[in-house]
Structure 1
């Protein structure tokens, strides 16, 4: 059983990484690619091209289950802002699809090109069944390398990309991977706790575990991207999650 990894742990105030393992390997990243969508929505908001209070309703072609809450709610429409919050908090698939229908996939590729984020990409909407033999269906939701994902984190943290997505991702409830090492309340960590502030985004499917984030303590920020993938039929999740938490533990120890 072979697990592929792409890992980069980079303090933003140092030129050299704390950990790098195949940082340029391009792997599937599941829901991590939704970060590009949040950046594009935030960019249009800041330019006045999107009204955050505007209502968007999901359509039948948007409907998808699994990650999120909107698909089990009675409410059929939300504000753009609340849809972004749902994506940040619970990686909401239905909110992702509704926003992506408004924004489009091509502008996300243009955004990635403009900021040299390739191979980071969101390739398609979320689908319950993915058959790349069908026209217009990508073989995976998203892909990227640890280096590209850390670049997205750095540009967003430093304000070269809009910082709004960090507010939405701070609501995130998945601390099952790297972020599990920090001992924070998974449902309430938007404010500093234990002197530490965490913003992260995870991605999960049957053969992927990915976690990217910014960890700040004593005014020092570390960006991390840890992506793992394996072939269908294998189930190395326990070992993968154990290693991801160990990487988080090393970040925590080194931050003091």
Structure 2
């Protein structure tokens, strides 16, 4: 776990924040950064159409697999990947920009304990990477702080990625303590700024984001790996995120 104060630039709380752990869908953040960077550089057209039939099918989550539209533009795929954790959309972006480019971007960002290892798969075989992505709480919290401070690649890239992430509809973990509307929290009437990305897999729950209120702003990351043996085990993991959310709300308000 890692919590940083945005104004002071210092750690508020840290615990094993240097440990590299699997982060599942949270690993799409560097992918979104690379997509935004290529669009800004003019090497990728945000309106380029990607056909779903060209992508290996995956049913782990998301909306595109249920839509009639067989093809979508790059920017719409980025929205789906950020807002609904759409694994098929994320795979389409990985297919288009390539894992080597994302890995180079991760290195350029100075993230030494983070990696996007593979595309999303319904089942992982012996020849596949054991996890889709890895990360540490420290690097993820610092990455989100850099995004809202316009320090990731360029101010334009930072703003674009932050805008995509502000659409995240999974408010069931840390954000469950915020009272925000999962489907419309971009301009909260109480002045709460919130952007986040979650990651979920069997025995994995991860979330990183930025929460800012009238008194303070923080960036945070929490990764929990657990034995997913029963609903009770899973609920205990979820309760850890909600407890953190309550503490963060008290801090920013």
Normalising TM by the smaller chain, what interval?
Answer: over 0.9
**Misfit runs of 4+, over 6 Å:** none
**1:179 correspondence with 2:170:** no
Alignment of 1:1-256 (within 5 A): 7-59=1-53, 61-131=55-125, 133-134=126-127, 137-161=128-152, 162-163=157-158, 164-218=160-214, 220-231=216-227, 233=229, 236-256=233-253
1:21 and 1:234 mapped to 2: Cα distance?
26
- For residues 114-155 of structure 1, give each alpha carbon's deviation from its aligned partner in whole angstroms, at most 9, with x where no partner exists: 111121111100011111x22xx2110111000110121122
1:231: Cα distance to partner?
3.8
Larger mean CA deviation between 235-244 and 93-102 belongs to 235-244
- For residues 39-84 of structure 1, give each alpha carbon's deviation from its aligned partner in whole angstroms, at most 9, with x where no partner exists: 0000001111111111111235421113110011111100111000
Q: Contact 2:215/2:252 (CA < 8 Å) preserved in 1? A: no
Q: Calculate the TM-score normalised by the size of structure 2.
A: 0.93
Unaligned runs of 5+ in 2: none
2:149 and 2:92 mapped to 1: Cα distance?
28
In structure 2, the CA distance between the partners of 1:141 and 1:193, relative to structure 1 (3 Å rule), is: farther
1:18: Cα distance to partner?
2.0
**Secondary structure of the structure 2 residue equivalent to 1:192:** coil
After superposition, the CA RMSD in angstroms is 1.5
Q: For this pair of structures, how many residues does the alignment match?
A: 247
Larger mean CA deviation between 24-33 and 153-162 belongs to 153-162
1:33: Cα distance to partner?
0.2
- For residues 93-115 of structure 1, give each alpha carbon's deviation from its aligned partner in whole angstroms, at most 9, with x where no partner exists: 11111110011111111111111
Q: Calculate the TM-score normalised by the size of structure 1.
A: 0.92
Unaligned runs of 5+ in 1: 1-6
